[in-house]
Amino acid sequence: MRIGVLCSGGDSPGMNAAIRGAVLRGVDVHGFDMVGFMDGWRGFHEGEWIPLDRSTVRGLSPLGGVMLGTSRARPFVHGDGDESDMRVIRERMAEYGLDGFLLIGGNGTQTVAKMLNDAGIRAIGLPKTIDNDLGGTDYTFGFDTAVSIACEAVDRLRTTGESHRRCMVLEVMGRNAGWIALHAGMAGGAQVTLIPEHPESIEQICEWVLSVRNRGRSSLVVVAEGFKPTGFDDEVTREGLDGFGRPRLGGIAEVLAPLIESRTGIETRATVLGHVQRGGSPTAFDRVLATRTGLAAADAVKEGLWGTMMALRGDSIEFVSLEEAVSRLKTVPADRYEQARLNFG
């Protein structure tokens, strides 16, 4: 049995541990032959791969990034996954002697995994996204590390904010789902947390910030990159939003900070945390989750469970159908957000 491993989409702390887990169990326990394609589908289509065995995955667990590289290179060279695309993939698999894939990636990648499987090409999904917006699983590896880094930034900004009696606005990742903001805001005791799922008006945000000042404290606002304020009018647009309420330049934090400052009279500073959220050594939680995900994926191959994705359910790794996993984006439900608002204003 020869299995190809590839990573697609943005990198996520834990990808190395997942590869290591899959290889230690796949090669040493189940006796598979395993290869890794470099930079995702690019390596697959260009024939750049390396053998994976115990020695190649040695010491990988604590390392950030991913040793195979990852990219957004397209799996389908002709179209969006039609039969001619599948034919290309089948031909290359024959060329490499591949029996199936382990695909490490987020929503897009798991959707590809499902399409492959529907077309009779064996694939198993390992979910990975720092945004935690993938269905079917409690958490994805990378999320805990991103939250930890964001929470550490909240802790740091708070001390400087309080010392200067400033309002500090921290932008964290999360284009469609506000999980990182929700957790980092709750962990750090943010006074305002803003997420894409729950738009708020500039007026409401400023009211919270003033209320915090009135009880003698300085505000810490955590905002997900995908948040869009409601009710903006022409004036707001001129100040920094385009016609669709999106920031004209820079991140949303850089739009909000001057608006808050001009309306509340409180000195306000923006920080856009950016790429540091996805880098560096994974937390112990993510290393364990990723390793177990890899182990389970190797077992799924052994048991012929093609078309499944490895999912965390409680303290167990379970096999869920790819269909369930990609059927919806997992966003923050209203009651979870309502809990986080406890500390607001």
> Minimal distance in Å, beta carbon 267 to its own copies?
9
Choice among 131, 144, 286, 299 that is catalytic: 131
Question: Judged by CB under 8 A, which of 30, 156, 213, 228 binds its own copies?
Answer: 156
Does position 254 bind its own copies by CB under 8 A?
yes
Closest CB to its own copies among residues 86, 150: 150
Beta strands in 246-335 (DSSP E): 268-272, 308-313, 316-321
Closest CB to its own copies among residues 55, 234: 55
* Structure tokens given for 17: 């541990």
Does position 66 bind its own copies by CB under 8 A?
yes
**Nearest CA-CA partner of 343 in 243, 241, 217:** 217
Question: Judged by CB under 8 A, which of 46, 83, 91, 162 binds its own copies?
Answer: 162
* Structure tokens given for 45: 């289509």
Closest CB to its own copies among residues 159, 327: 159
Closest CB to its own copies among residues 162, 242: 162
3-state helix, strand and coil shares in percent for the chain, rounded to the nearest 5: 45, 20, 35
| Stretch 90-129 residues interacting with its own copies (CB under 8 A) | none
In angstroms, what CA-CA distances link 183 with 14, 150, 151?
19, 9, 8
CA 55: distance to chain centroid? 29
What are the beta bridge partners of residue 118? none
| Stretch 181-220 residues interacting with its own copies (CB under 8 A) | 183-184, 186-189, 217
Distance CA 12, CA 141 (A): 7
Order of all β-strands in the sheet with 123-127: 49-52, 33-37, 2-7, 100-105, 123-127, 308-313, 316-321
Question: Judged by CB under 8 A, which of 33, 50, 69, 88 binds its own copies?
Answer: 69
Distance CA 221, CA 21 (A): 38
Binding residues: 10, 72-73, 106-109, 129-131, 166, 173-175, 225, 269, 275-278
Please indicate whether residue 82 is annotated as part of the active site: no
> Minimal distance in Å, beta carbon 84 to its own copies?
29
Other residues' Cβ atoms within 10 Å of the Cβ of residue 198? 19
Binding residues for ATP: 10, 72-73, 106-109
Does position 249 bind its own copies by CB under 8 A?
yes
Please give the positions annotated as active site. Answer: 131
